Structure 1
Amino acid sequence: MLTTLVGVLGTSMLVRSAGDRVNVLAIARDVPVGQEITAEDLTTAALPADPALKPVPANQKASVVGRRATAALHAGELLTDGQLHGGSGLAAGQELVAVEVQRGAAPVDALASGDKVKIVTTPGKDEAVTKNTAPPEEVQAKVVKVGAPNASGAVVVQVAVASTDGSVLAARAATGRVAIVLASKG
């Protein structure tokens, strides 16, 4: 009798806990790294609540659409915040510019997302810098992402800049004659 009662109570608890499900976001179709996520890329899944799992709740779908994948996403996977770029990273009136800086032209080990930096124009290899040389042109920016160094040590740093500076900075970056100066973090 006691065994039967324990069995009934155990079964009752299992059935009740199986009903404690949460709706979370899952990937409906493959999404390549860097691609903007659309509503069609997402579906929902109902899972038992588990504090060890940290999928994005289904009610946050609207805040996920438009963000970019930081890794390749595969159909059937649960979606986590770590797989998403922190939004567009851009406020109204900003543009995202990729700046490749050569080895030694940026404190890449100290740069992190959110850092405020100055991007300055550097002289060409054969240009002399004297007291009479005009000061370098500067663009204020905020670091969005720092890439890994390539084989030659160059690093691509993605920065958010005012939309009035986006084209100018992109043109300067294309020449390879830029350096990044990190503002004080204190």
Structure 2
Amino acid sequence: MRGRRAVENRSMPTPPRRLGARRRRPAVLAMAVALIAAGGLGGAVLYNSSGQRIAVVALARDVPMGQVISSDDLVVAHIAGDPALRPLDARDLQGTIGLRATTDLKRGALLVKSDLTSDPATQAGQQIVGVYAKRSQLPATKLQPGLQILIVNAPAGDGGSAGATTRSPDTLTAVVAAVGRPDTDGSTVIDVAVGPSDGPKLALWVAGGKFQVILAPRSSGGS
């Protein structure tokens, strides 16, 4: 019986070992890793060639028209280069500090050259007059430095009676130099710049309290 089992064991063929498959498996994995790495490298090259990242100047917060730019208003942003966009280079950031905004600037927007000016809000020889105005004497639009306005004198009694002579109200052209913080009732002190001969006249209007502030047309520059 023992001899028969030995003969049977010798007659059963031993399955061959798949050494070739085991040897190929690491090679296949290595090839896959190489292809993935090559694909990532190719994608990076394509990304860099299609849109090179550049450092530009952007707005860190809202800046109203006429306000002087400070370092806290600006931030460096990195964007893909585009010939259609001409934002200020990050190297020009320090040079923009101290300039005035020519329009309302919004947080997150890219800063361009036309957004800034070195021209002062007031001109040499102008007088600064503080105008204390009630909410009803001001336009609903928020006044900002650099904005041109008209101040109309409306003294009591003009046109108030049937016998009064109707005449055109006195008007002065002014530029907003600074805007104070509104009081609880909405009254605000506004520093305005006027010509050398108009300062005393405007001061009398303000003392009388009968005046109105009007926005001047930007296109015509006011009159």
Q: Normalized against structure 2, the TM-score is what?
A: 0.43
Structure of higher RCO (CA pairs closer than 8 Å, 6+ residues apart): 1
Q: Normalized against structure 1, the TM-score is what?
A: 0.49
Structure 1 or 2: more helix by fraction: 2
Question: Which of 1 and 2 has greater Rg?
Answer: 2
